[in-house]
Structure 1
């Protein structure tokens, strides 16, 4: 006899997804707030623990939000049909509630994949770049620090944010933080969440997507 699965209230999973977006916003603010530290320097790197922690939080929260709210892809044979059906139904309802809005940065699964298969991505980088140096969990003023093509080819980026280009790299995956923050703020506003505005330093502008206090 075929067993019928009763509908499950997935509201707590959805809530966790939106909570992750709020934490993601805070972490992006933390990274962007350190841009003034590099003013006046054409090239510079920022490697304090606060940057490392914020970049790691960005990886974790973007991956969690993706899984809870946006993942329409295949997860392979380890996911049961009942769980797959429930996930797709959850994502469909979230998508409809957001007006079927296109969210290319929040729906990007590259960072999530690199995080889920961290060791595999690392091994691939080490094999392809045997004579390399690595940058790990840093904020860097510009990719211009690496002016020669061979330098860039040999460099392994393990969680590096380039301020001038607004590019966050985890191995060979890249995402732009400012457009992603704009997307997430629109999403959480539609969902009725409140984003706490961060104070900006004198002479600085608030990150794009922020509302007036």
Structure 2
């Protein structure tokens, strides 16, 4: 889309996520200036009222694009546990009741799975990444990272449920039985649900922004 502003707003105020997204998008060679939502403190946070990751990502991206007049990207992501029928899913960040309380969310989930044996502790991280332009144009890309859940947290990197998800070996030999929180940022970005979704979205951003 000729003449489109080559600044891109990341629709999140989560500092961990901003760092991760900047690294992922920079690796794609995308020639745009990345601006965090914290640069627009007057813009209110968007209520995630969707029932899917894609719906919530689009809600946030469209709201920020409309408020700033700039192209915006957003994501919604979470942990989907097989024996819980895909929960916590879209409720991952507030599974224990308060949004963003990682320690409480981890503790509650581990307690709920305390009696579940290893063969049945399958889970995956899912992410929907959305792009919205001020004119209403939208794109969505999705990614996932499959693995199994540990019985206790391991690793000091990452955030959210990273300390308990151990990626499947199919994601590469380098994972070597480590949790996402034990991987380096570069290792994690190479296989993560968010990395996969945003790398796919970056191609569409490049096409739309010229």
Per the normalisation by structure 2, the TM-score is 0.30
Per the normalisation by structure 1, the TM-score is 0.30
Question: Comparing both structures, which one devotes a greater share of its residues to strand?
Answer: 2
Larger radius of gyration, structure 1 or 2?
Answer: 1
Question: Comparing both structures, which one devotes a greater share of its residues to helix?
Answer: 1
